[in-house]
Chains A and B, each alone.
Chain A
Amino acid sequence: NAGVTQTPKFRILKIGQSMTLQCTQDMNHNYMYWYRQDPGMGLKLIYYSVGAGITDKGEVPNGYNVSRSTTEDFPLRLELAAPSQTSVYFCASSYADTEAFFGQGTRLTVV
C-alpha cells in the first residue's frame, strides 16, 4: 500500500496561473479531504468528498475546485492563483469516521 500520494511536493506559481494538485489513495477509502496548513495555524478543510461523484465545501473553499470521478483520486484545482493561497496542502482519506491518513503535503508558493 502506498497510502495517500500527493504530487507535486513543491510548486511555485505566478499570480493568476492555474494548477492542479493531485491526490490518489489505494486503500479504497470512501472519504477524502483537502486541507491547507498555514504557519502556526491548524489544518483548515477546503473540500471533502464522501464518495465518487460527491463533493462538498469545507471551511475555506473560495478559490478552489475539486472533482471525485473515482474512489482513488481527488484532485484540487486552483484556477487563478493568489498570494493568499501560499500554503502547505494536505490530502487525506479515511473509511467513514475512522482514522484519517494524510499525504506528504504540497508546498505551494504564489508570487
Chain B
Amino acid sequence: KNQVEQSPQSLIILEGKNCTLQCNYTVSPFSNLRWYKQDTGRGPVSLTIMTFSENTKSNGRYTATLDADTKQSSLHITASQLSDSASYICVVVSPTGANNLFFGTGTRLTVIP
C-alpha cells in the first residue's frame, strides 16, 4: 500500500533554532518527492521538488534531503523565524497518471519568540 508518514506530528521550537522534519514513504514506483508549506487557512505552497537522482536541494533556509534507497526524506529549517510557523506536508508522486500524489498528514511547526 502506498503510504507517506511524517514525524513528528507537531513541533515547537524557539525562534532562531534549527529543526528537522522527517518523511518516510512506501510509494512505488517513484517519480519525485515534494515538500509543501501550508499556512493556517491557506492552500499548500511548494518548497522543493526532488527527483530520484537528487540527494539534497536547498531553497533559502530550507534544505531537503532524499534517500531513495531507504525511501526517506527530511526537511531541515535553519535559523527559524516566526513566519515558519505552518504545517509542512510531504508529498510523494508516482508516475502512474494524474491520480498519483500521495500526501503525508503533515508536521505542525510552531516557532515561538
Residues of A participating in the B interface, judged by any CB pair closer than 8 Å: 4, 31, 33, 40-45, 48-50, 56, 58-59, 90, 92, 97, 99-105, 107
Contact = CB atoms under 8 A, between A and B. Distances in A.
Contacts, number: 52
B42 interface: yes
B46 A99 contact: yes
A105 B46 contact: no
B18 to A, nearest CB: 25
A28 B99 CA distance: 19
**Binding site of B, secondary structure by majority: helix, strand, loop or mixed?**
loop
A50 B105 contact: no
Contact of A104 (B42, B103, B106): B42
19 contacts: A31-B98, A33-B98, A40-B105, A42-B4, A42-B103, A42-B105, A43-B44, A44-B103, A48-B98, A49-B98, A90-B43, A92-B43, A97-B31, A101-B46, A102-B43, A103-B43, A104-B41, A104-B42, A105-B41
A99 B97 CA distance: 14
Contacts of B103: 42-44
B100 interface: yes
Interface string B91-109: 0010101111101111000
Given A97-B93, A99-B46, A104-B42, A45 B31 contact: no
A42 B43 contact: no
Contact of A42 (B98, B100, B106): B106
Contacts of A104: 41-43
A32 to B, nearest CB: 9
Complex A-B, nearest 6 residue pairs according to Cβ-Cβ distance, in ascending order: A102-B43, A42-B103, A43-B103, A42-B105, A48-B98, A50-B98
A102 B98 contact: no
Nearest to A45: B99
